[in-house]
Amino acid sequence: MQLRTGLRVLVNLAEFTANDEQAMYDQLYAIDWTPYLAQDGNLWIDANTQSDYHRNAVYLSQLFKDAIVDQFRDKTGERPSVSKEEADLTLNLHVTRANEVSVSLNSSGDGLHRRGYRRRTGGAPINEVLAAGLLLLAEYDGEVPFVDPMCGSGTIVAEAAMIAAHQAPGLHRNFGFERWPDFDPALWSSIRQEALVARRTPPCPIVGSDIEELTVSLAKISIDRTGLLRHVDLRSQPFEQLQQPAPDGLLITNPPYEMRLQTGDIEGLYTMIGDTLKQNWKSYTAWIITGSPAGLKSVGLKTSRRIPLMNGPIEVRYVRYDLYEGSKKDKGEAPTAP
């Protein structure tokens, strides 16, 4: 519930080597599945493989399912069903190049990026987990003003608001372990109550802005589902016209890369970003995530940090600009008079 940057939590159940299909089936069948799943329960399996022999992940999922179903049928005469949407138990099967197999219980159910607040999005939404990771890499803790001047459908702003409010990212969703036979509702209720009590009013401004009114409307809907909309200032405004909400703070944004969103003039867009940062956002720390080397070059400002990341299948750079009033050397001590 509190994990901001993980996609799922897997509980390791078994490890073995399987050099052929029969060995794989036998080892999976040998695990006692009755503590984890009722005979009339629903099952789902995610498989991934790097093996040259076990190449087909779909077939591995089917083989895994057969081993579990056959065990239940042999023991009870009944069998569980397969359902992704109604799964009481989700399992993960991973096979390495050396045919080493790990079997895990997926305690998360749906990926942990599914916070529950985002349903409709703009054209190129950033993953919630990546958005939270960007904030943590920038050392954002909610104690400084935050701005996303090209916020799109508001994912980075929503994650910033939750960090600033000390709100657990998984507070408004369900998890796979809640359908496990040993689930303790009273214990889980007390943990959720602790998370509710820990929330606070964000102490500093949180601003999101975008030139597109529709995406700002979508951002309002998403952030409203977090319960934090009253603490966020959302505007439909060009970046060039946006004013600082405080004399200094943190700015993070995810501008178009000319891939999923087309601008027609990527160099012009990023030149505008650089000029606006230099002229209007002095004393701020700014971070930009982009998959456009040409755009990044057009910003025209010196970076103080560059972090390589992946935004889905796209290789990107996450770069930091330290913006100053005057020149950088003006930040030091003034020279003494002769």
The per-residue pLDDT for range 126-154, each reduced to its tens digit, is: 999 999 999 999 999 999 999 999 999 99
260 pLDDT more than 70: no
Residue 139 and residue 181 in contact, taking contact as beta carbons nearer than 8 Å: no
Where in the chain do CATH 3.30.2130.30 domains reside? 1-112+171-199
Q: Which of 20-24, 117-121, 156-160 has the lowest mean pLDDT?
A: 117-121
What band does 288 get if pLDDT is binned at 50, 70 and 90?
A: very high
Task: Report the share of the chain in percent with pLDDT over 90.
Answer: 89
293-324 exposure pattern, b = at least 16 Cβ within 10 A, e = fewer: eebbebbebebeeeeeeebeeeebbbbbbebe
Q: Return the CATH number of 128-165+202-327, one of 3.40.190.10, 3.40.50.150, 3.30.70.1170, 3.30.390.50.
A: 3.40.50.150
Residue 315 and residue 308 in contact, taking contact as beta carbons nearer than 8 Å: yes
> Mean pLDDT of all residues in the chain?
92
- Contacts of the segment 275-281: beta carbons below 8 A, 24+ positions apart: 275/300, 276/149, 276/239, 276/240, 277/251, 277/301, 277/321, 277/323, 278/323, 280/240, 280/242, 280/243, 280/244, 281/244, 281/251, 281/323
The residue count of the chain comes to 338
| Each residue's pLDDT tens digit, 198-211 | 999 999 999 999 99
C-alpha atoms less than 13 angstroms from C-alpha of 90 in its C-beta half-sphere: 21
Where in the chain do CATH 3.40.50.150 domains reside? 128-165+202-327
Question: pTM to 2 decimals?
Answer: 0.88
What band does 326 get if pLDDT is binned at 50, 70 and 90?
A: low
In the chain, the amino acid numbered 39 is Q
Residue 35's DSSP bridge partners are none
Cα–Cα distance measured from residue 301 to residue 323, given in angstroms and rounded to the nearest whole number: 9
Residue 165 and residue 200 in contact, taking contact as beta carbons nearer than 8 Å: yes
**Order of all β-strands in the sheet with 10-17:** 10-17, 100-106, 89-95, 42-49, 81-82
- Radius of gyration (C-alpha) of the chain in whole angstroms: 25
CATH architecture, domain defined by 1-112+171-199: 2-Layer Sandwich (3.30)
